[in-house]
Structure 1
Amino acid sequence: MPQFLRFAVGAALAATTVSLAAQQNADQVQSRQIFAKVVEFRTSQGNAQVPAMANYLEAMLRDAGIASDNIAKLPKGETVGMLVRIPGTDRNAKPILFSAHMDVVDARPEDWKRDPYKLIEENGYFYGRGTLDNKAGVVALMSTILRLHKEGVKPRRTLVFAFVGDEETGLDEADGTTRQIAAHPWVKDAEYAINTDAGGGILAPDGKPIIYLVQGAEKTFATFQLTATNPGGHSSRPRADNAIYDLAKAVTRVGEYRFPVMSNELTRAYLGAVGKVTPGPAGEALRRFAANPADSAAADAIWGDPEFVGTTRTTCVATMLSAGHAENALPQKATATVNCRIFPGVTVDDVRQQLSNVVADPKIAVTVVGAPFASPVSELRPDIERAIAQSIHKPYPGVALSPYLESGGTDGMVYRTVGIPTWASSGVFIKPDEMFAHGLDERIPAKSFYDGIEHIYDLARTLGGA
């Protein structure tokens, strides 16, 4: 899941000031309290804690006076999705969907400097698993619902808020909570969706805003297995062929291969916009590629930048290995898991065939895991762009805005495949080197957390026609 665009602001002094100031605002004080509680739920796969978190959120909503017939639970195995509806006054207007996910990638407390399942505020940052990906988004939805209800707002258009239970694990499952949400009567006719799980701004090293990015497309997420098999035997009698050695050669070839350079109108616009505000050789390479995608030197320079490496081509990387069955036996099987992020327009089977060609060993089987799917591009509509810009320009006046292609994967893929155009916009900014989602010491600066809450509230009021 999510890449560098799951964002947070990185200026510690400013974040501390905003955090203290926010304590004067009852809505933001409440948001921080909710944030502390939801981080405590270990909502990773295998812990069965998503239903407990959903029950907590539901109880808070009912205590606030949200009618039970405007709350729906969508169970799936050990997890659950939840929908909350604010009915609109115009029955002919299509609803708008807002989305966030409750589940997280697991964190082992013994590996962290701080308890990952306790919200810790330190030096202007909130630390904890999910603070960035995506429990800040969950709190933004909750805060918006509670505020609109408290204010007695009657939007013209029905607003539906989705709390997904398995974004990190169930995007390709037919009964996953995102697919259940997309098919629900409240959602299936939605005109479009706003996803909190991506989109955001880039900060320069000095903390100044560079650009704000709205996710309008995602690469196809596909996993392949490279498998070598062998008759094996006793370890005291080595063979000339060995499943582990065969697999190691295949994985090395995959690691050395670059897929062809590709671009589309969205990626060229994105790289060109970022290039205009990026100084030095990096900005020059981005501008040159945007003007001429056949510029191989510019493409090579972009390939070396981890922030943009996935924007110009399909990428595949080995992520897991499994081999052998006993320390004193020759391996009968060795398997590598290779995760690919496929550029729009390229099929999964094309990538599988190319991996087979790169491996160039008939003893290595290349197979697709699961049933990956591609999603279409959502071209940024003028009304959506205006609403996002209006909100972003409150804390960051005049900052440029651009759509972009997400190298990671989010629930937006599912919504787009069923015909719901989706744009991801979190409302928060970050320095690219401060993104720790899925990793150690995940954090979000306090200012980013509060900015994100205000952003989703702004969009709900503006787009909903409050």
Structure 2
Amino acid sequence: MYKFLLPLAASIVFPVLTVAANESSEHAQKTLDIYRHIIGIESVKNSGNVKRVASFLADELLAAGFPADDVEVLPVGDAAALVATYRGDGSSGKAPILLLGHMDVVEALPSDWQRPPFELTEDATFFYGRGTDDNKFGVSQLTSTFIRLRKQGFVPNRDLIIAFSGDEESTMASTIMLANERPDIAKAEFALNSDAGGGGLDSSGKALSYNVQAAEKTYVTWELTTRNPGGHSSRPAVDNAIYDLADAITRIRNYRFPVRWSDMTLGYFEQIGKQKGGELGEAMVRFAADPGDNSASDRIALEPSYIGATRTTCVATMLRGGHAENALPQSATVTINCRVYPGVPVAEIKAQLAKVVDNDAIEFVELGEATVSPMSELRPDVMAAVSKTVHARYPDVAIIGYMASGATDGMHFRNAGIPTLAISGLFMRPEDNFAHGLNERVPKKAFYDALDHWTVILKELASNAPS
């Protein structure tokens, strides 16, 4: 059974550090320059532009003095991966640390946005643009940290390896390649992922917790299709493929999967509930004490940011149907994306969905292959390094292990036998999180406050003389 290690790690006291590099510092400017440039590249699925991001980052690392043999741009279909090795002196005798992020972003229609999605814009409070959060924030911060450490003359006591994927938001083909076909990566002792984790703030900006992602739900998608002989639209039939599908969608919308929990999720809700307070916080604490408390789980289920930690979720995400405006539809299809609670078989979720829609004529087609990944332990060395940098910014904040409701590259590395913890440098309010949505943004304060995040962590984990 999973051992919840946080109370030990969070109780360690560290000296206070400088909170962040000055906005005008060389490191701040380099990070912002990288951020601005790669957000300006529309690295969406099937665009071919991920290779441009990878090549730009590679050029930045080469210009900073990294040997050409240690910086690789690897084409993978229409996408690309970037592998950059920061050579250590081997004095620790330890295996490499892997550093993860993804260079692709989800699609964004400029006509829907208030600002151009593929241009970094800003006001007094926020940076705006697709990928400002997911995940060009992490990619920029990690790349600029490698450059910063190199210029400082830092020599790690073990190798540090950046492994940026190029299609995390779609097929994950580059992720699968990195996790399974690279002997150098396979040697890594563990991986640190920039694409999840991070700090939560309340509406006033008070830090509630810092969350270390140690597990992910299983990502699986089905297409549900209804079929019909169709006919002329002037002669409507009782049965209609679109109406039949609409009935199925409504049934799925109204269904909630059973509540699930683990020691880690109960610990997460106990600590964050105490910090949050109010009606929601009280419900979290009650749920942690008694996950069978239906009123508590029902209250949590109203919150998009937290429902995924309490159960499997399935939601309609795409829709198509019919073939002509003056003809009865011959088929209609909905895409149902599910995030399955760890330990629950995917086949069980499909069977439950079929029971919910209650229509044997509906076809189920699974898209891709579901990847079930194990939970990773909260390593004391990583937790101590994270505590040092986080507590420099927010001295009293609780550091909590959690399970992500979304999917990241981490699941494939865990499956390949590489324990993976996600530890983004971002602190944000839930109401500022627009990843995958319209007008994605990141607080400027959060961007600048995170500038020392990876520097501290890497020096703590790969230096003979900790910072």
TM-score, normalised on structure 1? Answer: 0.92
- Counterpart of 1:242? 240
Q: Distance in 1 between matches of 2:365 and 2:50?
A: 32
Secondary structure, aligned partner of 1:371: strand
Note the alpha carbon deviations across 1:331-369, whole angstroms, 9 max, x for none: 111111111110000111111111001111111122211
Which of residues 314, 317, 321 is equivalent to 1:316? 314
1:453 Cα offset (Å): 3.0
Asked if the contact 1:111–1:440 (Cα under 8 Å) also holds between the matched residues in 2, the reply is yes
Q: Where in structure 2 are the equivalents of 1:63-462 lying within 5 Å?
A: 63-90=63-90, 92-171=93-172, 176-183=173-180, 184-462=182-460
Identical pairs, percent: 46
Q: Distance in 2 between matches of 1:166 and 1:444?
A: 22
Q: Distance in 2 between matches of 1:281 and 1:51?
A: 48
1:450 Cα offset (Å): 2.3
- Of residues 262-271 and 88-97 in structure 1, the stretch that sits farther from structure 2 once superposed is 88-97
1:265 Cα offset (Å): 1.0
Write the letter of the residue equivalent to 1:61: L
1:86 Cα offset (Å): 1.0
Note the alpha carbon deviations across 1:76-101, whole angstroms, 9 max, x for none: 12210010001222274211001111
1:20 Cα offset (Å): 10
- Counterpart of 1:56? 56
1:251 Cα offset (Å): 0.9
Secondary structure, aligned partner of 1:372: strand
Q: Distance in 2 between matches of 1:237 and 1:110?
A: 38
Asked if the contact 2:20–2:449 (Cα under 8 Å) also holds between the matched residues in 1, the reply is no
Q: Distance in 1 between matches of 2:263 and 2:403?
A: 10
- Counterpart of 2:14? none
1:19 Cα offset (Å): 9.9
1:111 Cα offset (Å): 2.0
Secondary structure, aligned partner of 1:320: strand
Write the letter of the residue equivalent to 1:215: Q
Note the alpha carbon deviations across 1:358-415, whole angstroms, 9 max, x for none: 1111111222111111111112111111110111011111211100110111111111
Note the alpha carbon deviations across 1:22-73, whole angstroms, 9 max, x for none: 11x1111111111111111111113211111211111121122110111122
Secondary structure, aligned partner of 1:290: helix
Q: Distance in 1 between matches of 2:40 and 2:449?
A: 22
Secondary structure, aligned partner of 2:73: strand
Write the letter of the residue equivalent to 1:178: T
Note the alpha carbon deviations across 1:246-297, whole angstroms, 9 max, x for none: 1111111111111011101111111111111111121111011111111111
- Of residues 109-118 and 97-106 in structure 1, the stretch that sits farther from structure 2 once superposed is 109-118
Q: Distance in 2 between matches of 1:186 and 1:465?
A: 21
Write the letter of the residue equivalent to 1:188: A
Note the alpha carbon deviations across 1:140-185, whole angstroms, 9 max, x for none: 11111111211121111110011211111123xxxx1111211312
Asked if the contact 1:376–1:416 (Cα under 8 Å) also holds between the matched residues in 2, the reply is yes
1:110 Cα offset (Å): 2.2
Write the letter of the residue equivalent to 2:127: F
Q: Where does the alignment leave 5 or more consecutive residues of structure 2 unmatched?
A: 1-18
Q: Distance in 2 between matches of 1:126 and 1:341?
A: 30
> For the structure 1 residues 117 and 59, does the alpha-carbon distance in structure 2 shift closer, same or farther, using more than 3 Å as the test?
same
Q: Distance in 2 between matches of 1:30 and 1:73?
A: 21
Q: Distance in 2 between matches of 1:451 and 1:198?
A: 17
Q: Distance in 2 between matches of 1:281 and 1:111?
A: 35
Asked if the contact 2:138–2:424 (Cα under 8 Å) also holds between the matched residues in 1, the reply is yes
Q: Distance in 2 between matches of 1:251 and 1:382?
A: 45
Q: Distance in 2 between matches of 1:368 and 1:229?
A: 17
- Counterpart of 1:8? none
Q: Where does the alignment leave 5 or more consecutive residues of structure 1 unmatched?
A: 1-17
1:204 Cα offset (Å): 1.6
Asked if the contact 1:19–1:446 (Cα under 8 Å) also holds between the matched residues in 2, the reply is no
Q: Distance in 2 between matches of 1:313 and 1:20?
A: 40
1:465 aligns with 2:466: no
- Of residues 57-66 and 400-409 in structure 1, the stretch that sits farther from structure 2 once superposed is 57-66
Note the alpha carbon deviations across 1:105-133, whole angstroms, 9 max, x for none: 12222222222222122113111111111
* Count of equivalent residues: 444
Q: Distance in 2 between matches of 1:452 and 1:182?
A: 27
Write the letter of the residue equivalent to 1:62: L
Q: Distance in 2 between matches of 1:299 and 1:61?
A: 48
Asked if the contact 1:214–1:402 (Cα under 8 Å) also holds between the matched residues in 2, the reply is yes
Write the letter of the residue equivalent to 1:83: V
Q: Distance in 1 between matches of 2:452 and 2:246?
A: 50
TM-score, normalised on structure 2? Answer: 0.92
Asked if the contact 2:55–2:73 (Cα under 8 Å) also holds between the matched residues in 1, the reply is no
Secondary structure, aligned partner of 2:258: coil
Q: Distance in 2 between matches of 1:119 and 1:244?
A: 41
Write the letter of the residue equivalent to 2:104: D
Q: Distance in 2 between matches of 1:406 and 1:345?
A: 14
- Counterpart of 1:13? none
Secondary structure, aligned partner of 2:318: strand
